[in-house]
Structure 1
Amino acid sequence: MPSWDNLPQGTMRAVTLTSPRSSPPAACFTYRTDYPKPSLPNSAFCLVRIHAIGLNRAELRARNAEPVSPVEFGIFRNEFHNECPPIIGEEFVGEVVEAGSDTGFEVGDRVAAWAFGGGKAYDGSYAEYTICHHRRLWKLGEAAKSIGWDALGAMPMGLWTAYGAIYLAADTKPGDVVLIHGATSSVGLWGVLVAKDKGCFVIASTRQESKVSKLKDAGADWVVLESQLQNPEVIKQIASKGVNTVLELVGLEALESIPMPVTKRGGTVVKCGILGKVWKMPVGAGLVTAMRKLTTLTTLDEDYDEAGRVLVDAVEKVKNGKYRKDIFLDSAYDLKDVGEAHQRMEDCAACGKVVLLVP
């Protein structure tokens, strides 16, 4: 656990990971009402009352207590350890209840956090309260007061991942052709929304025919089934000049077979999702060949201020109806029903974000 002090002050509700790798998912967790409530370790942190938690595929790996990389600790890289904390969870939305003097936040601010160190460096977001460093915390803006916590909880990490991948990593321009591989995930649906918002032509893929209509409702110009993508000519018939940006969300196992043949010369493939369960793969001749086909491979270097602007803008667009909740929010569960929420995510039954609520 962290090297800095975080002495408890009272108790709170929380879900703890007590039996990793158990089946079903609910057997992995214990719901508690007496878990120690954290306190501020120093003036750079805020204490936040969590109202909603967006679930992420990485938490399926965390549920199995699988090892993580020091890179995943972000600004807490010097706190790297292999042990999984009792509470997992990588993002949340809520209200500041105590603000350190160096944070720039005030009590009552509605905020969002992602990749915030919780669930890795220290206890995560599957709880009623958490601490958060101010460089991992963003204000949601005035419009957030008019939006339910379920919708707000479905926004932060998926929205920023999609936006950052398409516009910062890939430098996509209005009118470009964007292929989103794995588009019914939270990141995928946000990818459709933000790409269409800036005038891109969007091709979205899904394995399940039942989800085609959801992607069309989100604004996708063309929806293809996964089986069709095995033939690159299908995409060439839709976009004769090739694809400018491929947002690859399915997994490492799909990197060589799908994106490479359809990307135009000078185009970009951004790999930032693991919808499958292949977390690593050997770098063999096949992958080397695939990488040679790729003209540009970009990694996303987060910009704190840009992330804040994107988040506030998106909240405004949810308020005015441009981004509809029924598109990006799949379902919401009570915190104590975390096992059911994980099961839905594990089964790939969701179309959009699965959220936990902490009423």
Structure 2
Amino acid sequence: MPSWDNTPSGTMTAAALSLPGAQPPSKCFTIENYYPKPTLPSQKWVLIKVKAAGLNRAELRGRNGDQPAPPEFGMFVDEFHPDPPKVLGEEFVGIVEEAGSETKFGKGDMCTGFIYGGGKAFDGAYAEYVICPAQRCFRLPETSLSWDVLGAITMSMWTAYGSLFEAAQLAKGATALIHGATSSVGVWAVLLARDHGCTVIATTRKKDKVAKLKSIGADHVVLEDELKEQLKRLAPKGVDCLLELAGPDTIQTLALPNLAKYGSVVVTGVLTKQWSMKDFTPALIPPTRKMTFYSLEPGQEDIEGVESVIADVISRVESGTFRSEMFLDKTFPLERIGEAHGYMEENKAIGKVVVTVP
């Protein structure tokens, strides 16, 4: 029996994945108004009334029927299976409906959850209710921000923050290259690195996205096909941090040759769907350079640190330091989840795409 198993009680509204791989994306989903409502698998879990769910590339792959890689299951890697669950969705913001006695939460708490395994190992957040292990659930501060704005902040922002400041230990005044900057994590990386006093080089494949990246704070925006040539001019001694959001298959040709002494490449995204590097050996890593992968894993996270960073960023959004139009691209209601997937899959977004749940 899997660790997340539970006996449903009652019903709820959910966007069920009924026909993976169908086109257009709207044909993949069926809005079910009597979908089984989950219960707590144990007293270490939380049941949340979902208010908004941010979309992730992994969910597009799940909808298409692409087989996930075991690392995508996170803390549920031992329960890996190749087929997608009935309900996708790896992150949410919402209100605690029921909290296990072994958690720190109480009914009515505003919270967010980073359930990387959710939407893979078990039903995710494209639903009225979702279950979440307590160690992946974090309190939100009291705020006047709308649910869709909150949904565009939490997991993408923390992924960018952890990659830059936990993994790369990015220092003030350093130079950061954000490879794949128009993704939601990429946009937050630009905002956070620039706010930290760093020089930011952002990349994109599309000319029509250059102006937006500059408007949110990128010092330089470079088109993908001009990147190698432009880096020689912009960072002749290399960059201090290269945040790789496209995939590890670019590391040997792009990242490692362009790192400054003591620089770091942090792999966070796999937009290319490639999880491995061909013919790689550690001997290819230049001396005094570092290569790492960032993910929030059980036993490694500082929960209080996550919550304090989220609270600080929310306050900065409220004050206008980070404006919602910088990081929230578009909001869709849950019944238009297929349209939201199509919009994201066509690479129209610069920042986060969010669905709101009634």
Partner SS state of residue 255, structure 1 = helix
In the alignment, which of 250, 267, 292 is matched to residue 285 of structure 2? 292
Query: Is contact 1:215–1:223 with CA below 8 Å preserved after alignment?
Result: yes
Q: Check whether the contact 1:186–1:353 (CA below 8 A) recurs between aligned residues.
A: yes
Count of residue pairs brought into register by the alignment: 352
Moved >4 Å (runs of 4+): 287-290
Please list every run of 5 or more consecutive structure 2 residues that lacks an aligned counterpart in the other structure: none
Letter in 2 for 1:35: Y
Q: Which residue matches 1:140?
A: 140
Question: 1:261 aligns to what?
Answer: 257
* Mapped contact 2:168–2:264 kept (Cα < 8 A): yes
Corresponding position of 1:239: 235
Deviations 1:303-325 (A, max 9, x none): 23222222121111111111110
CA-CA distance at 1:68 after TM superposition:
2.8
Determine if contact 1:230/1:257 at 8 Å carries over to the other structure.
no
TM-score by length of 1: 0.92
1:324 pairs with 2:340: no
Unpaired runs of 5+ residues, structure 1, are none
| Cα offset, 1:205, TM superposition | 1.1
d(CA) in 2 for partners of 1:289 and 1:141?
43
Q: TM-score scaled to structure 2, two decimals?
A: 0.92
Distance 1:290 1:271 in 2: 18
Q: Does 2:282 align with 1:283?
A: no
Distance 1:275 1:74 in 2: 18
CA distance in 1, matches of 2:55, 2:144: 23
1:301 Cα deviation from its structure 2 partner = 5.6
Aligned position for 1:343: 342
Report 1:9-48 matches (<5 A): 9-48=9-48
Question: What is the RMSD of the two structures over their aligned residues, measured on CA atoms?
Answer: 1.9
Structure-2 separation of matches of 1:265 and 1:282: 22
Counterpart for residue 63 of structure 1 = 63
Change (3 A) 1:327 1:301: closer
The one-letter amino acid of 1:32's match is E
Judged with a 3 Å threshold, the aligned counterparts in structure 2 of structure 1 residues 82 and 242 are, in CA distance, closer, same or farther, namely closer
| 1:159 aligns to 2:154 (yes or no) | no
Kept in 2: contact 1:135–1:304 (CA 8 A): no
Note closer, same or farther for the CA distance 1:4–1:221 as it changes in structure 2 (3 Å cut).
Answer: closer
Counterparts in 2 of 1:290 and 1:204: CA distance versus 1, 3 Å: farther
1:324 aligned partner, one-letter code: R
Residue matched to 2:80:
80
Once structures 1 and 2 are overlaid, which stretch shifts more, 234-243 or 46-55? 234-243
Residue 329 of structure 1 and its aligned partner are, at CA, apart by: 0.5
- Give percent identity, aligned residues only: 47
Q: Quick check: 1:358 aligned with 2:357?
A: yes
The Cα offsets for residues 170-196 of structure 1, whole Å up to 9 and x where unpaired, read as: 111011000111111101100011111
Three-state SS of the structure 2 residue aligned to 1:96 is strand
Q: Which range moves more in the overlay, 341-350 or 303-312? A: 303-312
